[in-house]
């Protein structure tokens, strides 16, 4: 548990320098086998400063001496931050993302950046940018570690030192890899955490969240990074509730079982394991209520992908090879230069999404795709709000299966890849907080259970999580 | 939905992407597959339903018009090889 470690570190009972050397060596060793880290910070120099503070009796902060890895699309000052895209190669931000700064202010040691699908475009971390090797599952290297926060989840699983991860989700990019790697992954309500310093791909969907080996550590980090930030105009002004150590008392709590998430298309072992967990919750006082979310489950994917791609197609236009990141010799007109840079630097999935997003907002298609998708989103949000009148949380499997092998993934078309997000996308589209927790195994591979709560009701999902673990 | 190579060419031009012939063919098939699936959205009755461009209500916010912390010109220029004096240098626009 991070809290106990922090208390010891503050008292000077932990040799932070030794810890930093160990953390760095171990992360580099893990990296050789599993490829989770993109760029490294200097944890030893940071530890030295903290060690001095502890000696002077000035140690403070809820993360004092804790090693934090940062998904590559979250900016860390002076450390290459590329969102795993070649188009941002060499980009060393001149500022920290608010979430990163809040960690540093609490005494955290920034360890490294973690590998992801390029800009977050994928659910299996196989769409890393040009020249970036894909990360491998910590339990079986022939399998995916999920995505897009694949490096974050893999490192969280493997690290034996006190480590927490900052990750990010657009359509399920925290829950999915947390499920495939067997760690806890928390995604907050949209706008709970500032997006300042996040390399956004879809502004109306992106959320910075956390990962850890257990719920309370991930919740502590989420509590720390949450809260209003004048640097992000969309960031919520609502007060942040206590998230760490929410008691797992669930007597009388109403748990909604989403019928469509337990159909025949789901892996049998996954379905059975999640239903057993629900049974356990019933035994300790929860009320089980079956319900249906037809709009979310049938149209969530199409609405989500249309909006996400449309937003991505405009967002990525700022990477024009002039002010930061990859650049070339200036020649030709602006349009020729811009086309040359993005054509040579972006990967296939990024190009595919830019094309689809551009199509969806072109004259003649905009109403049929973009506006329609945003209207369907309204109805999906309404459907969830109706459901939350009758239940406190919703439970589904996180993923319909356990981590597939890279060979299996190769057989899938891009559309089939998107379909795998069927269970994580609707909650993300509606901006609802959700958590994925390890919940049993199938053939030694972790299964994830997903608990979703209403907007700004993070405490309820944590209540249920703590009752389960 | 029929997505022809000609449509992909036009979209790529708008998106400032230069695609090879075989890429255009591949993307045309994939886009057809994906957009046909997205067309399912037409089954949902959205008459008089306002679009949600954010999942939670977002208010316009403003702050006092006062000088605050920001990047210096040198910091802003420090990541680009294409600068001239206090400016970024770019290719000609026309």
Across residues A208-212, what is the average pLDDT?
98
The reply to whether B93 falls in a domain is no
Residues of A within 8 A of B73 (CB-CB) are none
The secondary structure of residue A437, as a DSSP letter, is: E
Q: Which of B17, B40, B41 sits opposite A339 (nearest CB)?
A: B17
Name the minimum distance, in Å, from the CA of A185 to any CA of chain B.
21
Residues A166 and A74: beta-carbon distance below 8 Å: yes
Residues A166 and A199: beta-carbon distance below 8 Å: no
Cα–Cα distance for residue pair A259/A241, rounded to 1 Å? 31
Q: Cβ contact (<8 Å) for B11 and A352? A: no
> Is A200's pLDDT higher than 90?
yes
Model pLDDT, residue A264: 83
Percent of chain A with pLDDT over 70: 100
Model pLDDT, residue A292: 98
Which amino acids of A are annotated catalytic? 71, 148, 173
ipTM of the complex as predicted:
0.96
Residues A168 and A198: beta-carbon distance below 8 Å: yes
Q: How far is CA A100 from CA A16, A36, A77, A238, in A?
A: 20, 19, 9, 20
Q: Which residue of A has its CA nearest to B48?
A: A375
Band of pLDDT at residue B1, cut at 50, 70 and 90: confident
Q: How far is CA A364 from CA A45, A305, A371, B80, in A?
A: 56, 19, 12, 38
Band of pLDDT at residue B62, cut at 50, 70 and 90: confident
Percent of chain A with pLDDT over 90: 98
Model pLDDT, residue A31: 98
Name the minimum distance, in Å, from the CA of B65 to any CA of chain A.
13
Residue owning tokens 């060690």: A51
Number of domains in chain B: 1
> Is A352's pLDDT higher than 80?
yes
List pLDDT tens digits, range A134-171: 999 999 999 999 999 999 999 999 999 999 999 999 99
List pLDDT tens digits, range A40-53: 999 999 999 999 99
Model pLDDT, residue A263: 87
> Is B27's pLDDT higher than 90?
yes
The reply to whether B24 falls in a domain is yes
Exposed/middle/buried for residue A259 (C-beta within 10 Å: 0-12, 13-18, 19+): middle
Q: B22: domain range?
A: 5-43
Q: Which residue of B has its CA nearest to A307?
A: B53
List pLDDT tens digits, range A91-125: 999 999 999 999 999 999 999 999 999 999 999 99
Model pLDDT, residue A369: 96
Q: Which of A373, A377, A415 sits opposite B33 (nearest CB)?
A: A415
Model pLDDT, residue B92: 85
Model pLDDT, residue B94: 73
Residues A355 and B17: beta-carbon distance below 8 Å: yes
The reply to whether B77 falls in a domain is no
The reply to whether B31 falls in a domain is yes
Residues of A within 8 A of B37 (CB-CB) are 301-302, 415
State how far Cα A114 lies from the chain centre: 11
Model pLDDT, residue A23: 98
Q: How far is CA A282 from CA A285, A286, B35, in A?
A: 5, 5, 42
The reply to whether B39 falls in a domain is yes
The reply to whether B37 falls in a domain is yes
Q: Which of B17, B49, B75 sits opposite A342 (nearest CB)?
A: B17
In sequence order, what are the residues at sequence separation of 6 or more whose Cβ sits closer than 8 angstroms to the Cβ of residue A103? A63, A68, A110, A166, A221, A224, A225
Please state which of the four CATH numbers 3.90.1300.10, 3.40.50.620, 3.40.190.10, 1.10.3720.10 is assigned to the domain occupying A2-225. 3.90.1300.10
Q: Cβ contact (<8 Å) for A330 and B91? A: yes
> Is A199's pLDDT higher than 90?
yes
Model pLDDT, residue B4: 96
Bridge partners of A69?
A112, A165
Band of pLDDT at residue B61, cut at 50, 70 and 90: confident
Residue among A205, A302, A303, A350 with most chain B CBs within 10 A, to mutate:
A302
The reply to whether B69 falls in a domain is no
pLDDT, averaged across chain A: 97
The reply to whether B54 falls in a domain is no
Whether the bond into A162 is cis, omega within 30 of 0:
no
Q: Where are the domains of chain A?
A: 2-225
Cα–Cα distance for residue pair B47/B31, rounded to 1 Å? 27
């Amino acid at each position: 548990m991070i809290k106990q470690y922090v208390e010891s570190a503050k008292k000077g009972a932990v040799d932070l320098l030794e810890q930093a050397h160990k953390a760095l060596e171990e992360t580099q060793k893990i990296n050789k086998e599993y490829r989770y880290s993109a760029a490294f910070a200097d944890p030893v120099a940071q530890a030295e400063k903290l060690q001095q503070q502890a000696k002077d009796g000035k140690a403070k902060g809820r993360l004092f001496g804790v090693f934090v890895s940062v998904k590559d699309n979250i900016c860390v000052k002076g450390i290459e931050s590329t969102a795993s895209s070649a188009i941002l190669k060499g980009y060393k931000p001149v500022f920290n993302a608010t979430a990163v700064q809040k960690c540093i202010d609490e005494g955290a040691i920034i360890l490294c950046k973690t590998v992801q699908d390029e800009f977050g475009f994928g659910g299996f971390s196989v769409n890393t940018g040009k020249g970036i090797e894909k990360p491998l599952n910590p339990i079986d290297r022939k399998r995916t570690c999920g995505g897009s926060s694949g490096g974050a989840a893999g490192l969280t699983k493997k690290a034996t030192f006190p480590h927490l991860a900052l990750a990010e989700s657009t359509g399920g990019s925290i829950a999915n890899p947390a499920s495939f790697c067997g760690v806890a992954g928390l995604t907050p309500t949209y706008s709970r955490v500032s997006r300042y310093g996040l390399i956004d791909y879809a502004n109306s969907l992106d959320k910075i969240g956390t990962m850890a080996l257990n719920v309370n550590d991930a919740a502590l980090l989420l509590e720390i990074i949450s809260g209003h930030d004048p640097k992000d105009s969309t960031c919520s002004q609502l007060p942040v509730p206590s998230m760490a150590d929410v008691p797992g008392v669930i007597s009388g709590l109403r748990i909604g079982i989403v019928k469509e998430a337990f159909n025949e298309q789901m892996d049998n072992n996954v379905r059975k394991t999640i239903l057993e967990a629900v049974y356990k919750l019933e035994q300790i006082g929860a009320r089980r209520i079956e319900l249906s979310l037809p709009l979310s489950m049938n149209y969530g994917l199409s609405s989500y992908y249309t909006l996400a791609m449309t937003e991505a197609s405009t967002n990525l236009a700022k990477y024009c090879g002039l002010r930061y990141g990859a650049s070339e010799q200036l020649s030709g007109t602006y349009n020729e230069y811009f086309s040359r840079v993005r054509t040579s630097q972006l990967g296939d999935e990024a190009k595919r999404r830019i094309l689809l997003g551009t199509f969806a907002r072109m004259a003649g298609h905009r109403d049929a795709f973009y506006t329609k998708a945003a209207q369907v989103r309204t109805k999906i949000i309404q459907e969830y709000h109706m459901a939350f009148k009758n239940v406190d949380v919703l439970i589904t499997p996180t993923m319909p299966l356990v981590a597939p092998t890279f060979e299996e993934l190769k057989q899938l078309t891009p559309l089939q890849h998107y379909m795998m997000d069927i269970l994580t996308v609707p909650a993300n589209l509606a901006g609802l907080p959700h958590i994925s927790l390890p919940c049993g195994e199938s053939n030694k591979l972790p299964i994830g259970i997903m608990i979703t709560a209403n907007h700004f009701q993070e405490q309820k999902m944590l209540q249920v999580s703590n009752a389960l673990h | 939905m029929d997505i022809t190579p000609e449509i992909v060419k036009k979209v790529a031009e708008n998106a400032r992407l230069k695609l090879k012939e075989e890429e255009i063919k591949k993307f045309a098939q994939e886009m057809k597959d994906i957009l046909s699936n997205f067309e399912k959205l037409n089954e949902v009755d959205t008459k008089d339903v306002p679009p949600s461009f954010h999942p939670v209500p977002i208010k316009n916010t403003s702050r006092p018009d006062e000088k605050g912390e920001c990047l210096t010109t040198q910091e802003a220029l420090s990541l680009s090889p294409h600068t001239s004096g206090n400016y970024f240098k770019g290719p000609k626009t026309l």
